[in-house]
């Protein structure tokens, strides 16, 4: 299975995105170029057999659904609250 990292333009509602195969020898260079162009890393790495399958997973917004599921548990919700609160206070992404 290949690992894909997705990049999205801010405020595009996940519509303007691209992705990179992390096994590509030029991955780091391409990632730096995308970040310099204003793209942001979106979600976590997606494991898929093909790039079409990875895009389908990305478009399904499965990671968001999993985050919401995890937040339904009191303990993980509190941990996420602390982490996101810290990031907000220190202006970190």
In this prediction, residue 64 has a pLDDT band, given cuts at 50, 70 and 90, of low
Q: Read off the pTM.
A: 0.63
Residue 86, pLDDT > 70, answer yes
- Give mean pLDDT, residues 49-77: 77
Minimal CA–CA distance to 38: which of 12, 62, 59, 61? Answer: 12
- Give mean pLDDT, residues 40-69: 80
- What's phi and psi for 76, nearest 5 deg? -70, -30
Minimal CA–CA distance to 3: which of 56, 63, 44, 62? Answer: 44
């Amino acid at each position: 299975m290949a690992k894909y990292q997705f990049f999205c333009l801010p405020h595009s509602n996940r519509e303007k995105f691209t992705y990179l195969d992390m096994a590509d020898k030029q991955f780091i260079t391409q990632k730096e170029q995308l970040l310099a162009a204003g793209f942001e890393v979106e979600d976590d790495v997606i494991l898929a057999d093909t790039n079409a399958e990875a895009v389908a997973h990305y478009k399904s917004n499965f990671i968001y659904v999993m985050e919401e599921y995890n937040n339904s548990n009191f303990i993980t919700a509190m941990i996420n609250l602390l982490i996101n609160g810290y990031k907000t206070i220190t202006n970190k992404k």
